[in-house]
Amino acid sequence: MYETKKDAALKTLEKKQSKVDEINKLLDQEILPALEKLRKERMQYMQWANGNAELDRLKRFCIAYEYVQAEKIRDFAVGEVEQIKAKIFEIDDDKERTQVEIKEMETKISQLTADKEASMGGEVKALSEKVHALSQDLVREVSVLNNKEDTLRSENENAEKIVCSIEDLKQSVKERATAVRKSEEGAADLKKRVEELSKSLEGHEKDYQGVLAGKSSGNEEKCLEDQLAEAKVAVGNTETELKQLKTKISHCEKELKEKRHQLMSKREEEVAAENELNARKKDVENVKLALESLPYIEGEMEVLQKDRASEIDLVQKLKDKIRDLLAQLSNVQFTYRDPVKNFNRSKVKGVVAKLIKVKDSSTMTALEVTAGGKLFNVVVDTENTGKQLLQNGDLRRRVTIIPLNKIQSHTVPQRVQQAAVRLVGKGNAEVALSLVGYDEDLRNAMEYVLVRPLYAKPLMQQRRCNNSNFATISIQLLLGILKLQITDLLPVHKKFVDLKKQLELKQYDLSLFQGRAEQNEHKALCYISSFAAFKLGELVKKIEQELTEANSTVKEKQVLYNECVSMVLMLEKSIKEHDNNREGRLKDLEKKIKALKSEVQLASKDLKGHGNERERLIMEQEAVIKEQTSLESQLNSLRMQINHLNLEVEEQKMKVVSIRKNHDQAQSELDLIRKKMKECDSQISSILKEQQKLEHKVGERKLERKKLENEVKRMEMEQKDCSMKVDKLVEKHAWIASEKQLFGRSGTDYDFMSCDPCKAREELEKLQAEQSGLEKRVNKKVMAMFEKAEDEYNDLMSKKNIIENDKSKIKKVIEELDEKKKETLKVTWVKVNNDFGSIFSTLLPGTMAKLEPPEGCSFLDGLEVRVAFGGVWKQSLSELSGGQRSLLALSLILALLLFKPAPLYILDEVDAALDLSHTQNIGRMIKAHFPHSQFIVVSLKEGMFNNANVLFRTKFVDGVSTVQRTVAAKQNK
């Protein structure tokens, strides 16, 4: 019911949308272009009307300013002539005074020259001779000082040599001390060797005594016969232990072989059962891995579809907004269809406004004024292309076409550029064509469009407009991306659903196998056999460990036995050799003893020699120390002599300083006199310069007088011209006489302080040019036509708004239907969930069941079946047995039917796979939960018969099927 109402509302919504589209088409194709054209013509008409009034005001303002300026110049010229004549008289007086000053300066220069020659000649000569004598004394004393410094330098070098010798002797002392230390170390080594030789000698003497006593060496406590007896006893004990270990090893190997055979048979039985279970688990894992490897998240497809629907709504809103903006910029849009088949659209270059790129945005208004309506002309390559467009291009509005091969460009004359620079200043006037960028092949068209020559920076304003196309393009791009994502996800989504179904089948198969394994008695036998195999394995490990330990013990005992046998043989051999070689060994030991004694003597002799060498080195060290002491005394005396020389050098330096001081004093006096002479010369030169300045001043005064005389003549001519100009203006413009008193007064139309007359003149010229162009294009009837078109537009927009309101109401109804659907589903879920839990707990006592949404989802996204046994909720339905799942499915079906009960139900052997207790529970459940419905139940079990009100039995009687009806006795209430 909800879906039917929703479909009807959607159909109505589509009809409303079609009406909106018709209105939009009518607005785009007819109303808005006509309205935009009339709006522009109205603006031109209003601009023309306002311009006429402004033109008359500016003309009067400029004429009044010319009249006032001419009167000012006429009145100002009379007084200015008298002032200039007074200046000429002052210049003549100043010139006479300057000539008198020049004569006085010439007299002063001759007097200064005579005084300098008389006073400073003899004094300079005496001071020069004194400076020369002091210079000779200074040179002599400086040479004495240099000799003494050389002597001091040589003595310092000798002292440094002695210091180096002392350092060498110190090094020699250290080397001899090192040699003494090494000699002592060598003596210690020899002493140690002597001690070792002495010990070796004592050991050989001890061996000699042992051989005499019948021992193999002197260190042994027992003789060889006693050692041989002990070795034979050890051989017997080791041999007995070896035999016992070998017997134990043979017994363990036999037992190990039997146990291993039993263990292998047990493991083969286990492997057969495990292989089948592992194969089924592996199938389930493979399907899970394949499902996880898919680059798909469950629910991703639905999210993308929802995003796409919201973006489509946003696109529609932006299209409406763009349509409104395009209505305001309709002249920039140029649409046409191909006039001929396979028409080359590159021949049509486009609208001029789209073909130029403004370099500075502040010049946009200037370019609009310069180009005017030519900005909306269309540029094509040839006149043939323009003709085809006009005849077959299906143009929606009137356009002016510029063919590149026919258009003639114009350049701005140099005199016009110069006049503009004079008006607005250099740097403020530029050619309009230089303010834009364009393709080179469009130059002729651009020169034709931008024919107005100049652009004045202070008069222009910046104009901006917004464009919403970018938002629409980005949304459409996002829609395309969403569509591509959905297309790419479709095969992955399909594969995901297939793998999910396959996983459920594999899990169901695995649970069936595990259920059969639980019901099979062989399961218990497997547990028993696996426990026995474990015990056997432990026993085998223990036997193997004992066998390893026994083998290692046998090896150790075998090695010990061999050692004992070799010891017995060696002792027997030693006894025989001892008896045979006793005399030879004694002789060898005697020889060794003699050799060691001689080595001890030699070592003692070397030790004594090292002692003598050490004493010699000590004596040499003492001699070097004495030599070092004598050199140090020489160094001290030499340093005393150096100090004395230093004092003499200092005295000589002081003497040289005093002579140099006298010399410098005399030289400074001589320099002072020479400086005074220079000052006198400079004073004379400064007077000469001042004289030259005065002469130059006299020349300038003459030139200035001549200029002032010329200025007097010019101003008299200007006064005459201004008087004539004032008379002509009064004669030509009669209104000057009546409004003359208002000229220059603040708050009136002739306020020259608040309004710049230069700018007013520029505005006047500009306005005259604009008005002459507008007068030819203006439409006098445009106001009435615009009001009519605007009424049609408002009527259509009101209809469109009504339809849009209806659409919003329909959408609201759809939302209300969705909300009611959600509430109904929630009520159904709660009712079915309660009945489901109640029916299942009746069919299977001690259990609970419920329907709940998956984790993180709502009931609208789907429901999961959850089952609990004894208060513990199962993680998966695969943990249930086949009968339990049958009862669960039956409970869910009956709970759904109980939401809206039917009068009659038919059940066909629903208890076929159930035991007797479950069959009785089904009968009791039907009586308890469906008291107002009738059930026809087909069953073969006694538990169902007991709960029936009427029982129909079928059976064969004499080969014919018969039906027997039995009515159960009514129970007492």
Rounded Cα gap, residues 194 and 188, in angstroms = 10
**In terms of DSSP bridges, do strands 357-358 and 436-437 run parallel, antiparallel, or are they unpaired?**
antiparallel
Contacts of 804 (CB under 8 A, 6+ apart): 20
881-928 pLDDT, tens digit per residue, is: 888 888 888 889 988 888 888 889 898 888 887 877 788 888 888 888
What's the rounded Cα separation, in Å, for the pair 633 and 639?
A: 10
Instruction: For the chain, give the number of residues.
Output: 973
3-state class of 196 per DSSP?
Answer: helix
User: In the chain, which segments carry CATH 3.40.50.300?
Assistant: 822-900, 902-972
User: Per the structure block, which two tokens stand in for 448?
Assistant: 């034709």
Backbone angles phi, psi at 849, to 5 degrees: -145, 150
pLDDT attached to residue 467: 41
811 strand-pairing partners:
none
252 neighbors 550 (Cβ within 8 angstroms): yes
CB neighbour list of residue 870: distance below 8 Å, 6 or more residues apart: 846
Can you spell out the DSSP letters for 257-283? HHHHHHHHHHHHHHHHHHHHHHHHHHH
3-class state of residue 780 by DSSP = coil
CA distances from 28 to 31, 377, 392, 476, 554 (A): 7, 21, 21, 21, 112
74, 722 in Cβ contact below 8 A? yes
CA dist 159 and 363 (Å) reads: 93
State both tokens at 523. Answer: 């399961």
Give residue 130's identity as a one-letter amino acid code. Answer: K
399 φ/ψ angles, rounded to the nearest 5 degrees: -135, 155
Token reading at 882: 């086949």
Q: Which CATH number applies to 902-972?
A: 3.40.50.300
Rounded to whole angstroms, how far apart are CA atoms 36 and 330? Answer: 7
pLDDT per position as a tens digit, 817-838: 888 888 888 889 889 989 888 9
What is the DSSP pairing of strand 950-957 with strand 960-967? Answer: antiparallel
Q: Is 319:472 a contact under the CB 8 Å cutoff?
A: yes
pLDDT on residue 773: 73
CA distance 736 to 726: 10
Number of Cβ within 10 Å of residue 80's Cβ equals: 15
Q: Give per-residue burial for 599-621: e unless 16+ CB within 10 Å, then b.
A: bbeebeeebeebeeebeebeeeb
Q: What's the half-sphere exposure (Cβ side, CA atoms, 13 Å) at 285?
A: 6
Partners of residue 867 on adjacent β-strands: 849
Give the three-state DSSP class for 772.
helix
How many Cβ atoms from other residues are within 10 Å of residue 99's Cβ?
11
DSSP structure string for 35-70: HHHHHHHHHHHHHHHHHHHHHHHHHHHHHHHHHHHH
Q: What is the pLDDT of residue 220?
A: 57
Write the CB contacts of 268 (distance below 8 Å, at least 6 apart in sequence): none
> Do residues 344 and 381 touch, judged by C-beta distance below 8 A?
no
- Quick check: helix, strand or coil at residue 962? strand
What pLDDT is stored for residue 645 in this prediction? 81
- The partner residues of 865 in beta bridges, in order of sequence, read 851
**Residue 385 phi, psi (nearest 5):** -60, -45
- The pTM of the whole model exceeds 0.85: no
Which backbone phi and psi does 329 adopt, to 5 degrees? -120, 40
pLDDT of residue 973: 33
Considering only CA atoms, which of 963, 965, 927 is closest in space to residue 944?
927
CA distance 648 to 105: 63
**What's at 682, amino acid-wise?**
S
- Domain range 822-900, its CATH number among 3.40.50.300, 3.40.50.720, 3.10.620.30, 3.30.70.20: 3.40.50.300
Q: CA end-to-end span of the chain, whole Å?
A: 43
* Three-state SS at 853: coil
With b meaning 16 or more CB within 10 Å and e meaning fewer, what string describes 699-737?
Answer: eebeeebeebeeebeebeeebeebeebbeebeeeeeebe
Averaged over successive runs of 10 residues, the pLDDT of the chain (973 residues) comes to 77 85 85 82 75 74 77 74 79 79 77 66 67 77 80 80 82 80 76 77 70 58 66 77 79 77 72 73 76 68 74 76 68 80 85 82 76 82 86 82 80 73 71 80 80 48 39 56 69 72 73 63 42 67 80 80 79 69 70 77 76 77 79 81 83 83 80 76 79 79 79 77 77 74 71 74 77 72 79 85 87 85 87 89 88 85 88 86 86 88 88 80 85 87 81 86 82 41
Dist CA 710 CA 588 (whole Å): 155
> What sign does the dihedral 229-230-231-235 (CA atoms) show?
positive
Largest CA distance in the chain: 188
**102 burial type by CB count under 10 A (0-12 exposed, 13-18 middle, 19+ buried):** middle
In terms of Cβ atoms closer than 10 Å to its own Cβ (0-12, 13-18, 19+), residue 936 is exposed
- How does DSSP assign 647-714, residue by residue? HHHHHHHHHHHHHHHHHHHHHHHHHHHHHHHHHHHHHHHHHHHHHHHHHHHHHHHHHHHHHHHHHHHH
Q: What are the DSSP calls for 387-417, one per residue?
A: HHHHHHS--SS---EEETTT-------HHHH
Q: Is residue 678 packed enough to be buried (19+ CB in 10 Å), middle (13-18) or exposed (0-12)?
A: exposed
Check if the beta carbon of residue 367 is closer than 8 Å to that of residue 450: yes
Task: Supply 810's token pair.
Answer: 């329909």
Tell me how far CA of residue 29 lies from CA of 54, 131, 281, 323, in angstroms: 38, 115, 70, 11
For residue 123, give every residue at least 6 positions away whose Cβ sits within 8 Å of its Cβ, in sequence order, or none: 673
The rounded radius of gyration (Å) of the Cα atoms in the chain is: 67
Q: What is the pLDDT of residue 175?
A: 81
Cβ atoms of 645 and 154 closer than 8 Å: no
Instruction: Give CA–CA dist 346/380, Å, rounded.
Output: 9
H-helix or E-strand containing 908? strand 904-908
Distance CA 652, CA 823 (A): 125
Using an 8 Å Cβ cutoff, are 409 and 447 in contact?
A: yes
Please give the Cα distance from 144 to 164 (Å, whole number): 31
Give the list of residues 6+ apart from residue 528 with CB closer than 8 angstroms, or none.
none
| Helices and strands in the chain, H and E counts | 18, 14
CB 807 within 8 A of CB 16: yes
**Token pair of 650 as six digits:** 């200092």
